[in-house]
Structure 1
């Protein structure tokens, strides 16, 4: 297997071992190797400046980082994909963002070893998802076996990369793609937890947003069946509700209302906290650099 690796960050927590499971699954789908890393901030301390951060302690005792790497490699335990593990010195967010530049995908647990019970998403996951140079897959809930891939569509240029990524994931998994677009309107009919769009001008306008956003991708991925869904109300609520029947949610990092300098939009932030299945955040690098997407 060649090409950029699937990078997965571990810290010794059970949640990070679930991230290893997801990383191995993605690597098998994509034909990529898995690279497991443990980021050790203490290895930057002057007292450890001349020591190998992955090395054994006196008497052959494994360090905490090395134990975490060993556990992660044991968890991977597969002949399907090559798996390597290493300890890297530095702050986890800084190191993971740096290493993401050479990765095909970065996989993280939604909460680390030091997470507070009441927090739904750890600070490392939030920060890395906002700034990584590759798509970031965050563990959430339980993927629905055979479930669809769900992508949020907002019609913004920065959403283009997320839609393409979602098509690719649906093709790899041989499942349907649900493209969901929402807009707040007053003329709606409430159906349970999600308000569906009435026929008329609102429907036509929203349907056009979907049509334009999906244009070209269906031709590139003719094997992917697309389920188009239009709704009104809060986008995050609609996406979280739809995630119940999905195996993966794909979102752009920033939506139409994203503020300059803020790399993770409010919808992506909310869905990361509450989705019923794993969530991938995709940055459109060309848009962030001011280059028009073709």
Structure 2
């Protein structure tokens, strides 16, 4: 058999196997497969244009390896304007990556784990917050909101100015509550646990991912030809997160 025919046969076998596995895991779910010629990055970006969500999986790399070691995932994530969920196959089963299809199902598939939202108070975006609340609502899971903030460069330690430290922390908590209040009213069944912590948001989100069902972060769309367009917090998270990560693009 010519090499091209071998490649096509292998692709068809892979698609058939994937369809069977998904069908067995989700009885009643309609599963469609499509064999597309060409390079993977343009093909995935084109498919995402007509989709609500794009899911990319790792190759089952070790715990020390990150999603962004894959050039395809990095290139797709940097250019895709749809929500993208990245799943580390070695860490969680297929059932953990996406919100459950029914609002009335218990969170048995996630084992009671939180959905985690990384929230930037300087640039909070509705699409990111709504995705996280909706994911938590569909899973009947708590939503843990993590915001990392830093002290001004002229501030050299809480021990020297404890009143200023406490005042700034209280201001951050008030701002966090104000941003979340309309969404809590829209999703009254979602239990929200807000956490404002000093330090890198990326580090706190990585820590939170160890007992999370899903971590949700935003990515500002930048259409310039230079750069990875991912951002340092998201990049750190994708290198080290244990849970699936949803990256929501926004203007």
Fold in common (TM above 0.5):
yes
Paired residue total: 216
Give, in angstroms, the shift of residue 208 of structure 1.
3.1
Q: Is the counterpart of residue 208 in structure 1 residue 154 in structure 2? A: no
Q: Is the counterpart of residue 219 in structure 1 residue 182 in structure 2? A: no
Asked if the contact 2:65/2:240 (under 8 Å) is kept, the reply is no
Partner of 1:109: 57
Q: How does 1:175-194 map to 2 (within 5 A)?
A: 175-185=141-151, 186-187=156-157
Partner of 2:103: none
Among 95, 101, 126, the residue aligned to 2:74: 126
**Cα distance in structure 1, aligned partners of 2:79 and 2:198:** 30
- Cα 1:219–1:117 change in 2 (3 A) is closer
Asked if the contact 1:138/1:278 (under 8 Å) is kept, the reply is yes
CA RMSD of aligned residues (A): 2.9
- 3-state DSSP of counterpart to 1:87: coil
Q: Flag the structure with more relative contact order, 1 or 2, with Cα contacts below 8 A and sequence separation at least 6.
A: 2
**Cα distance in structure 2, aligned partners of 1:221 and 1:209:** 19
**Cα distance in structure 1, aligned partners of 2:123 and 2:17:** 41
Give, in angstroms, the shift of residue 171 of structure 1.
0.3
Asked if the contact 1:147/1:245 (under 8 Å) is kept, the reply is yes
- Cα 1:200–1:95 change in 2 (3 A) is same
Q: How does 1:246-257 map to 2 (within 5 A)?
A: 246-254=212-220
**Cα distance in structure 1, aligned partners of 2:126 and 2:58:** 25
**Cα distance in structure 1, aligned partners of 2:222 and 2:194:** 28
Asked if the contact 1:107/1:138 (under 8 Å) is kept, the reply is yes
User: Over residues 86-121 of structure 1, what are the superposed CA-to-partner deviations in whole Å (9 max), with x where a residue is unaligned?
Assistant: 111121111111111111111111348xx8998522
Q: Is the counterpart of residue 277 in structure 1 residue 223 in structure 2? A: no
**Cα distance in structure 1, aligned partners of 2:193 and 2:115:** 10
Partner of 1:170: 136
- 3-state DSSP of counterpart to 2:32: strand
5+ residue gaps, structure 2, are 97-109
Asked if the contact 1:253/1:265 (under 8 Å) is kept, the reply is yes
- Normalized per residue, the structure richer in strand is 1
- Cα 1:93–1:209 change in 2 (3 A) is farther
Give, in angstroms, the shift of residue 187 of structure 1.
4.0
